Structure 1
Amino acid sequence: MVSSDKAVIVAGIKKSFGEVAALRDVSFEVERGEVLGLLGPNGAGKTTTVNILSTLITPDSGRALIAGHDVVSDPAGVRRSLMLTGQHVALDDLLTGRENLLMFGRLQGLKKKLAKERSQELLEQFDLVDAADRPVGNYSGGMKRRIDIACGLVVRPEVVFLDEPTTGLDPRSRQAIWELVTDFKDAGIATLLTTQYLEEADLLSDRIIVIDKGTVIAEGTADQLKERTGGTYCEIVPRHVHDLPAMVSVLGSMLPDTIRATLSETSDRISMPAPDGPKSLMEALHRLEDADIELMDIALRRPSLDEVFLALTGDAGRARQDRTDDLEAADAYA
């Protein structure tokens, strides 16, 4: 079962809490240097999976290996091989950033001189030199997240678990975390990333696994998952809402019956599949121009995380409406 190319191997993991089945036969693998995105709604089983793989809890059945170490029979080996960081940082607020790094280094067996050298390297890498001798309790949220991750890297891990690492961060700090994940990949470190942001998973992940109700319901690249939800679609907003019936007639066969059925008296736009991308958009535009129908907007869209997940769980219509509501809210705010 152990392979030198596999940093993480999960085979048939099950876990229940009382009568609640948190994980149901979950299996996947992560290669060295690969970034695997783990997606799903709250309560889907993402955190339970990470907790099992980091030896915080034990599975009821199945097997999991981290860098060749079994999470049940060799938890100490697992902990030596991985770095785990979550949404809540595990730092001593009374110590400075430098002191936290030194403490973690010494706890992991580094000699004092080496711990000091490594601490300085990490302070420079994470742009924390100016704040190095200030108590961590005075750090901003983004700075705390950076020093937390830095502490986990005092000794280079073989596997990194990032549990929604950018939640609540400002854009600059979020970008820094993204760059760090790229560094992990370049260094051959396997990364398991749990996130609810499709943009983040799309940018960073080589592959994505979607978990729902403790089961892996989909696996593939971000583009492959988007294609399963219908792929790219064209959103068309008429200048005058009363032109919608005429638009439906003009678009003809380009508009599937399922889309026609979702249109109602309150609809103010049409969202239709665009299998040929820009070609589909241009065809729709030409037809509408020939019919003298004036448009407010016409654009190609990609599915959001909500659309991907809800489509996979059988509620694509609600997902598309949620996306439309989000766009309208954003337009109103702007």
Structure 2
Amino acid sequence: MTQPIRIERTTNPKPRPKASELGFGKYFTDHMFILDYDAGLGWHDARIVPYQPITLDPAAKVFHYGQTIFEGLKAYRTEEGKIVLFRPDMNMKRLNRSNDRLSIPAVDEALGLEALRQLVQVDQDWIPDAPETSLYVRPFVISTEAALGVSPSLQYKFIIIMSPVGSYYSEGIKPVSIYVESDYVRAVAGGVGHVKTAGNYAAGLKAQEGATAQGCAQVLWLDGVHRKYVEEVGSMNVFFRLGDKIVTPALTGSLLPGITRDSVIHLLRHWGLEVEERLVTIDELVEAQKDGSLKEIFGTGTAAVISPVGSLYWKGEKLTIGNGSTGEVSARVYETMTGIQTGRLEDPFGWRVSVE
């Protein structure tokens, strides 16, 4: 039986920001969820408490050995005023896959889902109702044992915090320019590229600085062994419309199995489009761009849902994708995915989960 969750409500609620002020990850709700782990005792003391700093010993293993993982999902308020989550069970399953890779004890998925539900209920007034806004939910696990020595921690905290977020595209969905990284690598099969751990993102910051210097919004990573197979776009999975097919890099163990990625594949196939999951080389994309068969590129992820790509920057050359504007498949996927997530459109897949 799932352990009970103790709730301590704040006596000092924060002022709510205006929808126009939200941005992404700038404000945090009144409460947070905490679950502790001690070796020999397991996960215990599930509680929702007022949002607050956490105190850690300077020797806590998370600071020295990076034993930490996280997830990201959203809660939405529908036009009828109902509160829904989008495929939260997939996030909890992936959280435990990340836990397993980093030698962190598994979290009871039923307890994690119940914690999500109750925390969203407690802070439901923080869910914005302006168009294309949502409540971003960030579950994460950190190792807290105070001990120096490279071994799995004997203590952890599983925490969930939440942040109201504005529209990712404040001026409408617009294509971005992508820098193809040829010097740095992100991950290799057998490593941790397929899980959501902090080190993956820290290792990408240097390449992102280079992309920004070239006027590009994101980095397109190549594989770490051959330096030719396309893997991910920054924090997103990536799709290519090549002729009449939609192609996305296969999950080879070095890239993240995105929940939005999985959802988009299901949606495209539901529409009768042919989707291939396979190895894709940068040379194939360059050739396809030059002969006109590369019609669209778009990234998929929780934050933006869909991010169309207007151009690639590769070896000093800017390659325009299509006519540089948002492609028809990208636009249709964005409208349909956001419609399903927010309850504007029918959900034929049963992905929406109501928060009662």
TM-score normalized with structure 1 length: 0.23
Q: Is the strand fraction higher in 1 or 2? A: 2
Q: Is the helix fraction higher in 1 or 2? A: 1
TM-score normalized with structure 2 length: 0.22
